[in-house]
Structure 1
Amino acid sequence: MENRTELQPYSVLMSVYSGENPEFFAQSLESLYIQTYPADEIVVVCDGELNEQLDVVLEQYSEKFGGKMKIHRLESHGGTAKCANTGLAICKNEYIMKMDSDDICLENRAEKQMIYLAQHPEVSILGSYIQEFDSDTGNDIAVRRPPTENEAIRKFAKRRAPFNNQTLVYKKSLAQSIGGYCEELERCEDYDFMVRMLIGGAIAANIPEVLVRYRVTAGNLNRRRNWRNTKSFIAVRKKIRKMGFSGFMDFLIPCASQIILFIVPGFVTGFIYKKLLRK
């Protein structure tokens, strides 16, 4: 493998809660297990008590990873940001690779990203493209292509998340210096984290290749158009504007678009999301 001896070790950070699909969770862990450049640490934070099926998957993969997996269980449901901060403190390596418990890494995801970071040590937060696919049929839907260069990422971030959260690799030291994830936010904590990393001095990049397959279900679209998510969407953009990162129009335009998506019927939301926003 190219430059393998020069690559830095990395930790994988993921969380899981009782509502996850055990089959999807197993597929996610399997995609980590078969990486061409494997992690030397897999940190899994359990967001409260899990069901028996998920515990079985954890036990199976704990054995497969041969002692590399660290499992931390929160006593009660703490939310995504709480899990991320808990795992952030546990991870031993400087480079932390985020992973969702229902998505699938391509087998060379880690190798591609760690080679890039070895060649660009100034980069402290790195993502890639994702391939969205229909969870029921397995059919590909669209590729989400965020900007790839630092300045373009910063400009894009004023209105929309400039990374696919499922693809992130970032430096632990910088993440801790900005206070990690904001546990006061109910939703959209990943976007807030990305912006604060940029404010904190992160040099950013996205690899222009699909490295993760992102599972799309009916629940994904429903979450995007419910009022709880809409309120969080607006609250985070208001917070980002107060930090001085974005302007009034950067706040107004995406918030107005989100409100429209909330108001229109669900099938229209799905059409806009799949056919227009991904072009």
Structure 2
Amino acid sequence: MEKDGVRLPEYSVLMSVYKGEKPEFLRECIDSMLEQTFAPDDFVLVCDGPLTKELDNVISEYEHKHECFRVLRLPENMGVGYCANEGLKMCRNEYIVKMDSDDIALPERCELSMYMMAKHPGVDMLGAYISEFDSDTGEEIAVRKTPTGDSAIRKYARRRNPFNNPTLVYKKSWVEKIGGYTTVRRCEDYDFVVRMLAAGAVGRNIPKVLVRYRVNGGNYDRRRNWANTRSFIAVRWKIYRSGFSGLWDFTVTTAAQLVMFLLPSSLTGRFYKKLLR
């Protein structure tokens, strides 16, 4: 496909799913990727351990209907980072488009992303804005914006992930260069992004919403979960020890996470929205 005289490169969609996902959300997500204005020629879905019968039925449908749709089934739950590493081995293309199994990509997401990557070959990692919406009502909640240029991305990354993970596109060769994802069970996406940037990868964000991000009460509960809070702090300590961020960056972000953990559930969403702004 060509756009404004620029030849768009083929890409691989990489996604993982676990047994807790809702079949209707998975179906909506997969459809949103297969029905792109610039459709993928390679789609790798990693099943993170045994799934429910309902999820298996949804996946089987796509396996039979779409030649590009390929499935890797892991015998046990291994986590997002492990799934990404195993799925990357199967991906056929240099450009990898990440996707979460319950979000919805806007129709031009991949066309605009591949156009940007083709027009700016020096960019190694690309993202975009997301629109958070209430999973029950469909109501738009907030737009999560991210810095656009490489220098702003690097500065932002000292405290928070400068990319919205469901919008991420990157070069497979760069991931291989840094040794893939690490085995951290939470905050693996932030850890991955910082390691890419620290190794010299150039980042950029498209200042446009390209993915709708599903939010429900469980999202806020996970942010308040102690295991998640502890992992959040551990990853940021690792980033500080690597020299990528400073002690003040670590202190500020850790304090904010602890506040969120200690807040009552009724106030967590409000505090999170203030952080977005």
CA positional deviation for 1:268: 1.1
Asked if residue 204 in structure 1 is aligned to residue 192 in structure 2, the reply is no
Helix, strand or coil at the partner of 1:277: helix
CA positional deviation for 1:64: 3.0
Instruction: Determine the C-alpha separation between the residues in 2 that align with 1:240 and 1:278.
Output: 21
Judge conservation of contact 2:6–2:119 (CA < 8 Å) in 1.
no
Asked if residue 41 in structure 1 is aligned to residue 42 in structure 2, the reply is yes
Instruction: Determine the C-alpha separation between the residues in 2 that align with 1:158 and 1:46.
Output: 32
Aligned to 2:156: 156
Letter in 2 for 1:144: R
Structure 1 vs Structure 2 CA RMSD: 1.0
CA positional deviation for 1:5: 6.5
Asked if residue 227 in structure 1 is aligned to residue 216 in structure 2, the reply is no
Q: Within 5 A, what are the aligned runs for 1:12-27? A: 12-27=13-28
Instruction: Determine the C-alpha separation between the residues in 2 that align with 1:15 and 1:233.
Output: 21
Judge conservation of contact 2:103–2:212 (CA < 8 Å) in 1.
yes
Helix, strand or coil at the partner of 1:78: coil
Q: Within 5 A, what are the aligned runs for 1:1-279? A: 2-3=3-4, 6-65=7-66, 67-183=67-183, 185-274=184-273, 276-279=274-277
Deviations 1:130-159, CA, capped at 9 Å, x for gaps: 000000000000000010000000000000
CA positional deviation for 1:270: 1.2
Letter in 2 for 1:230: T
Letter in 2 for 1:223: R
Instruction: Determine the C-alpha separation between the residues in 1 that align with 2:49 and 2:12.
Output: 22
CA positional deviation for 1:63: 2.7
Letter in 2 for 1:99: M
Letter in 2 for 1:263: L
Helix, strand or coil at the partner of 1:132: strand
Letter in 2 for 1:254: T
CA positional deviation for 1:196: 0.3
Deviates more, 1:205-214 or 1:261-270: 261-270
Instruction: Determine the C-alpha separation between the residues in 1 that align with 2:158 and 2:35.
Output: 36
Helix, strand or coil at the partner of 1:241: helix
Alignment TM-score, normalising by the size of structure 2? 0.98
Letter in 1 for 2:28: Q
Deviations 1:35-66, CA, capped at 9 Å, x for gaps: 0001110000001111111111111122332x
Deviations 1:190-243, CA, capped at 9 Å, x for gaps: 000000000111110000000000000111100001111110000000000111
Instruction: Determine the C-alpha separation between the residues in 1 that align with 2:263 and 2:10.
Output: 47
Letter in 1 for 2:264: P
Instruction: Determine the C-alpha separation between the residues in 1 that align with 2:253 and 2:18.
Output: 30
Letter in 2 for 1:85: N
CA positional deviation for 1:162: 0.3
Helix, strand or coil at the partner of 2:191: helix
Instruction: Determine the C-alpha separation between the residues in 1 that align with 2:70 and 2:176.
Output: 20
Judge conservation of contact 2:6–2:118 (CA < 8 Å) in 1.
no
CA positional deviation for 1:186: 2.1
CA positional deviation for 1:278: 2.1
Instruction: Determine the C-alpha separation between the residues in 2 that align with 1:176 and 1:190.
Output: 15
Deviations 1:157-176, CA, capped at 9 Å, x for gaps: 00000000000000000011
Helix, strand or coil at the partner of 1:129: strand
Q: Classify 1:137/1:56 alpha carbon distance in 2 versus 1 (closer, same or farther; 3 Å).
A: same
Helix, strand or coil at the partner of 1:39: coil
CA positional deviation for 1:96: 0.2
CA positional deviation for 1:180: 0.8
Alignment TM-score, normalising by the size of structure 1? 0.97
Query: Which structure 2 residue ranges, 5 or more long, are not aligned?
Result: none
Instruction: Determine the C-alpha separation between the residues in 1 that align with 2:3 and 2:15.
Output: 27
Deviations 1:237-272, CA, capped at 9 Å, x for gaps: 000011110000011000011001111111111111
Instruction: Determine the C-alpha separation between the residues in 2 that align with 1:109 and 1:145.
Output: 16
